[in-house]
Amino acid sequence: MQESTETALHFLNFGFSKGKSSINGRIFRWPTVSALTQPSEVDNDCSKCTDEDTCHCSHSLNLKTGSDIIMVLLNLGTGAFISHHIHMHGHTYKVLKMEFPEVTIDGNFTFTNDIECSDTLPNVKSSCNNARWKNSSWNDYKNIPGINTIDAVRKDTIVVPYGGYVIIKIKAANPGVWFMHCHIDKHMVEGMALMLNESFENTGRFIPNGLPTCHSYLTEMSGKLSASSVSQTSSTTDSTTYGLGSVVGILLVVILLLIVYIIWKKRTGSTTSNDMAMHQPRL
């Protein structure tokens, strides 16, 4: 397995972009086949999504084998409404930092100012589908104030606070396709979810030869149905042939019996005539 030494940075905004449960405006469309074994049949093209508009797709992130992945889980922009607890399958992640909004005693929230949601719009007017750090030096996570790289707690679910963010870290060393989603089920089924295609270039070797695929039963059933049809056609043909043969046979026997009867009748008739002739009195 060839391992990457890269560190990848992903900003993921969980919220209701344009009113829809989504991540970065991508409303998750559930694949109809196994994404692990039939990836070519999964529509993960999210190119119709823009910085401000939503789209439906099987949203996925490709993670290179062995790379460090920094994820900034956001809850900002026009789609921010409540906090979301975000769960990741396949990993426990290190929680490097949590940032909360400022909340006044009378309940007013001031969102974090660490994130830039848009080049042209203020954060409160942007969907925040394509966020970045305001301070670009933070792209190296070690430069972020308050980051814990020493004894970060490990979790697989964490609350992403309304108006704030959480920085988590994983190593892409667990090949597979892993689901990551809001654990409020309504949000998840509506589309606040994505797939982590982790070390995807190596996952093929874990698939056993001959493993049945989704929809393969259709081919099998078609085969069985065809075979059954052929068999039924064949048996129909056979029974028709047998039926015709029987009728012809019976007819032949009847005709033969008729011929025998006619011959017997003729012979009997001529014998009687001769006898009558023989016994005719001579005048």
Residues that bind Cu ion (CB under 5 A): 84, 182, 184, 187
Three-state helix/strand/coil letters over 155-213: ECEEEECCCCEEEEEEECCCCEEEEEEECCHHHHHHCCEEEEEECHHHHHHHCCCCCCC
Residue number, 28 or 200, with CB nearest to Cu ion: 28
Measured from the CB atom, the residue of 22 and 65 that comes closer to Cu ion is 22
Contact 198, 177 (CB under 8 A): yes
Phi, psi of 112 (to 5 degrees): -55, 150
Query: Torsions phi, psi of 67, nearest 5?
Result: -80, 155
Minimum CB separation from Cu ion for residue 1, in Å?
35
Across 179-213, b (16+ Cβ under 10 Å) vs e yields ebbbebeebbebbbbbbbbbbbeebeeeeeeeeee
Give the shortest CB-15-to-Cu ion separation in angstroms: 8
- Work out how close the CB of 76 gets to Cu ion at its nearest, in angstroms, rounded to a whole number: 14
CB of 23 to Cu ion, least distance (A): 10
Q: What is d(CA 75, CA 12) in angstroms, rounded to the nearest whole number?
A: 9
The nearer residue to Cu ion, 173 or 184, going by C-beta atoms, is 184
The least distance separating Cu ion from the CB of residue 13, rounded to whole angstroms, comes to: 12
Of 15 and 39, CB closest to Cu ion: 15
Q: Are strands 20-23 and 7-17 parallel, antiparallel or unpaired?
A: antiparallel
Tokens for 257? 């019996």
Cβ proximity to Cu ion, 9 vs 184, nearer residue: 184
As measured in angstroms, the least distance from the Cβ of 17 to Cu ion is 13
186 vs 205 by CB, closer to Cu ion: 186
Token pair, residue 254, equals: 């009847």
Q: How far is the CB of 102 from Cu ion (least distance, A)?
A: 22
Q: What is the DSSP letter of 215?
A: T
Q: Rounded to whole angstroms, how far apart are CA atoms 47 and 27?
A: 12
Q: Which is nearer to Cu ion, 94 or 187 (CB)?
A: 187
